[in-house]
Amino acid sequence: MKKRIGSLTWVGFTLILLGYLMVWLPNPAAGFALTGIELGEWVKFLPAVQAGDIGPRELFYLPPITLGLMMALVTSAWSNRRWQTWAMRGLAFVVSWLAFPAIETIRFEGTAQWGLRMTWIGMVALAGVVAARLRQRRSPTWIPRTLIVFGAVVGTLLPATVFFPIRDLVSGILGMPLGVGVGFWFNVLGHILAAIGVVWGWPAAQDA
């Protein structure tokens, strides 16, 4: 039973990744559909976002960051001698690069526009090192489990705090209601399943 629950973590990881690449803000009538990966860049042109009236747009870049952090921390249950362990840590870092700013942004805009995302990507790399140390020291499993659940909460709630105000703002500009895309719900469900799998299925992960 625990092994089945533990598999929810991997289902959750997959949903988060797919969700980020799928539509979050759809409106066929208006002729556009914005994916999770596009939202953070698109909304920076809205006056309300530029004025700071709506929370930081950087929160739209959190899903690949929280996904990378959780992927890295899960490997604290695996032997450091396995190549698969290090491959997963490397993959976690690669996933986090979905939040990497465009080269033009780095070249022509101040660090306020991209510095935080670079810091977050660095945190994912650090999480891989932390996972290796936790495994090496045989640290209590509640440490990575707590960190993963915290990441799941952050990845679920914080993007939503800016998504719904943005949706309402754009709805007002267009004069028509906008829906909530499947990508947003995949992100929410993915983080929830990942947390459930870690909390109740961790022993199965340790046997991997």
> Pick the residue with more confidence: 163 or 54?
163
Does residue 164 fall inside a structural domain?
yes
DSSP string, 156-205: HHHHHHHHHHHHHHHHHHHTS-----HHHHHHHHHHHHHHHHHHHHHHHH
DSSP string, 57-75: GGGGGHHHHHHHHHHHHHG
Distance of CA 7 to the CA centre of its chain: 19
Highest mean pLDDT among 2-16, 28-42, 92-106, 191-205: 92-106
DSSP string, 85-113: HHHHHHHHHHHHGGGPPPHHHHHHS-GGG
Can you tell me the distance from the alpha carbon of 115 to that of 118, in angstroms, rounded to the nearest whole number?
Answer: 5
Could you report the per-residue pLDDT of 88-131, keeping only the tens digit for each? 999 999 999 999 987 877 777 777 778 889 999 999 999 999 99
Does residue 65 fall inside a structural domain?
yes
pLDDT above 70 coverage of the chain, percent: 93
Structural tokens at position 70: 């959780």
Structure pTM? 0.91
What domain range includes position 149? 2-200
Does residue 34 fall inside a structural domain?
yes
Work out the mean pLDDT of the chain and round it to a whole number: 89
Distance of CA 142 to the CA centre of its chain: 21
Q: What is the pLDDT of residue 5?
A: 57
Does residue 208 fall inside a structural domain?
no
CA triplet 205, 97, 115: central angle to 5 degrees?
Answer: 120
Does residue 69 fall inside a structural domain?
yes
Residue 78's identity, in one-letter code, is: W
Could you report the per-residue pLDDT of 158-176, keeping only the tens digit for each? 999 999 999 999 888 888 8
Does residue 30 fall inside a structural domain?
yes
Does residue 17 fall inside a structural domain?
yes
Number of domains, the chain: 1
Does residue 176 fall inside a structural domain?
yes
